[in-house]
A and B are shown apart, each in its own frame.
Chain A
Amino acid sequence: MTRFDVAIVGGGLAGCSAALHARLKGASVILLERGRCGGQASGVNYGGVRQQGRHPAELPLACRSRQIWGRLAELVGTDCEFTATGHLKLARNDADMQSLLAYRDIARDYGIDLEILSVADLQCRYPYLGDGYSGASLCAADGQANPRLAAPAFARKARELGVTVREHCELEHAEKVADGFQLTIKGEAEQLTAGRLINTAGAWGARVARWFGDEVDEQVMAPNMCVTEPVAPLIGPNLGICGGSIYLRQTKNGSVVFGAGLGVADADRLWARPLAHVSMEAARAAIAMVPQLANVLVVRTWTGIEGRMPDGLPVLGESRKAQGLFHAFGFSGHGFQLGPAVGAVLAELCLDGTSATPIDGLSLGRFGLARALASAPSMLPKQ
């Protein structure tokens, strides 16, 4: 029976980063991925590297991740096309402006600088933007990267350093044993054991958690993405809008990537599709945001399966039921930026027993009370 210090289920960005960071700490690591590393949410998302606009519970993680994004080349041998283009969040009205101002103060507490821009500033600095905005908030340190490259790059580096990365390898079941975890792989007789288990199974994370009695509601979501043919450099920062209806960026090669709304997904069949009417709505929103895009060709739409938590925040932390089991899933459509730090924190939690990065608001336990209340009637005796 082969034994590892750490076993990781799920080769998304968080899982691959956890593998790399655990290995850098000297652990023996195996990463199990049912398909290909970065094949689901981590590889098919929008590619925003954004701290601005996040819930405070995520901000320490986002700040740490931003540091890792900045030295990616050093860490994994490629920058994954990360560029600090800035992230501009547009206000639709005065109320939005007020919320941007309030958020600036929150962000400042975490060391994130946001610049508030007036309508005149917008017109002067970003003349390609459509009309009707009341202003914006700019986070110059934010930017964008190529999601197709990131998880595979972490996986490659991890493998180089000695991590056993097994793709097309499905974890059928895992259970807690005296000295760790026993893992059964689909179609294989031999079992693996590991001292620690990290669950980064994305949209399937809650299923893994359930093996150990960690009950949590996780839904699936499929962000509807579109990309155009390359056009001359036009759009500087990664663009978002209060209310989040559309997000849009131009890549280094000139393509414009944008997303709005959701496609359809089926986690059991590993199947997800963008929807025509959602892409059409997205096209309208994209033209409203940058009118010069009207005659640009859309060449592709796509989506992938992401996990979504009821409160839109990920689950990150140790299991309440199984010591040595660490969860990080349900990133609710905004896990790409967080991925690198999530991996680092997971490695620290499982090998050092603690992390300097606060993740208090992200524990699985936060759903406990709500769940208990929701399931209370069923505990009453039948009348």
Chain B
Amino acid sequence: MIIGAGPAGISAAKTLAAAGERPVVIDENVYPGGQIFRRPPAAFARNETQLYGFDASRARRLKSTFEAIAPSIEYRAETLVWSVEDRRLHVSTAGILKCMPFSRILLATGAMDRVIPINGWTAPGVFSLGAAQIALKAQATFIGKRVVFIGTGPLLYLVAYQYAKAGADVAAVLDSSKPFSKITALPALLADISNFSRGLFYVSQLRLRGVKIQTAIAPVEIVAGDRGVSSIRYEQSGQQGQSDCDAVAIGYGLRSETQLADLLGLSFQFDRRQRQWLPVTDGAGRTSVPHVYIAGDGASVRGSEVAEWEGELAALSLLEDMGRGSQKRASVLRRRIDSLSPFRRALDEHVFPFPHHFAEAIRDETIVCRCEGITAGQIRETVATTGEADINRIKAFSRLGMGRCQGRVCGAAACELIAATARTDISATGRLRGQAPLKPIPLSILAGDRR
């Protein structure tokens, strides 16, 4: 059983199929490809080059890989995993529930945006970077006419560039980091020259198109009225700045989707660089639970190329545990993955560090948990009055993370806020416990009622 049909999931499926297995691939999306190679509906005729730029050839290759293995695998599109119990997966497809037994499972669940709330982020017209990209890739539309991109990370420049290239008016790119400023990071960045030069290309293309790029900024607020977003205010070396816009895409890097890993009982450890709890692995996709394997951004955010190699590596580990692995290929993959880790470390630590100190500056009236309407002030007060710093206790006392997003959107920033308020290390806030259903599911579907 493979969960996720992004680069990691597809390459794992290919590896297993090549070994004569018939994996079941569970995918929430309509088409395989994951977030990075998300496809529009067939009616929207846009080719790979338009959709994926530099990644077009990889997208084509992954697509043809998938087509080639399609007869040898069982692909379940638009299928949501809502629970797992021991070796039974509970899924929902088009409103029908099914229980699927498995003997081994490989998680390729990917990642999602990491957001730090600011005043106005809940206004109509504000999207996460990932959502802005989905609008473009899957719906061939923009989130607004004049868009500001704010946050940090490779995706910030990529999506801004994709918007600009597709004809959107990109009002500004506001980066909390000061990328490319650390000479010390340069050797590590050159370890992945192609990715590094892509980054430079996006920046130069944006500049060529006259897009304002501001670095080392701190967001102040998104100004929004009855008709939605009108501008965003920020600070830069003590100066106030403002960009007029009608939409904002916001994202400070990515965080791994680990809810399923949690439900499967995997051991976790705190990753200082990514500032989140990640499943413990042996470096080859094995986890602390013998029949569970993991690959890609869901194990640790390292990008789609590494995800692809990790998918294959985890599948090889799985095969080896069944008594039929190829160690030679596995060591090639491990070397490749290792060779890129200095690049990733440089990105995380020097180029696009996660600005966790922003959480400290969130204003008391800013909503952190939008599902339940819990403000930063309420969270601070809960920490102060209860003396608690554990995210699950704060959740229990304040309703933080109890709503529809189940803490996926607000959890990361809330942990930072709690840690800052309680003056404790971020790792001491713990992690939100995973609970079924992994994503909200209507009562009628749970009841098997097909109305």
Contact = CB atoms under 8 A, between A and B. Distances in A.
Given A148-B396, A287-B447, A299-B404, A294 B442 contact: yes
Contacts of B447: 280, 283-284, 286-287, 294
Interface in B412-441: 435-437, 440-441
B440 to A, nearest CB: 4
A131 to B, nearest CB: 16
Chain A: interface size category: 20 to 34
Interface of B: 82-83, 85, 88, 90, 97, 99, 371-372, 386, 390, 393, 396-397, 399, 402-404, 406, 435-437, 440-444, 446-449, 451
A302 B395 CA distance: 14
Contacts of A287: 443-444, 447, 449
7 contacts: A148-B397, A253-B372, A274-B436, A279-B446, A287-B447, A298-B442, A300-B402
Contacts of A266: none
Contacts of A298: 437, 440-443, 446
A97 to B, nearest CB: 27
Contact of B443 (A253, A277, A283): A283
A225 B6 CA distance: 34
Contacts of B85: 273, 275-276
A230 interface: yes
Interface of A: 36, 43, 148-149, 152, 156, 227-230, 253, 255, 273-277, 279-280, 283-284, 286-287, 293-302
B99 A276 contact: yes
B444 A230 contact: no
B393 A229 contact: no
Given A152-B393, A287-B447, A298-B437, 6 more contacts: A230-B372, A277-B99, A286-B443, A286-B447, A294-B447, A301-B436
Contacts of B393: 36, 152
Contacts of A286: 443, 447
A275 B435 CA distance: 11
Q: Which of B402, B404, B447 has the most CB of A within 10 A?
A: B447
A279 B442 CA distance: 12
A36 B389 CA distance: 13
Given A148-B397, A152-B397, A276-B85, A297 B448 contact: no
Q: Which of A36, A148, A276, A284 has the most CB of B within 10 A?
A: A276
Contacts of A276: 82-83, 85, 88, 90, 99, 436
B386 A299 contact: no
A286 B443 CA distance: 8
A283 B446 contact: yes
Contacts of B406: 299-300
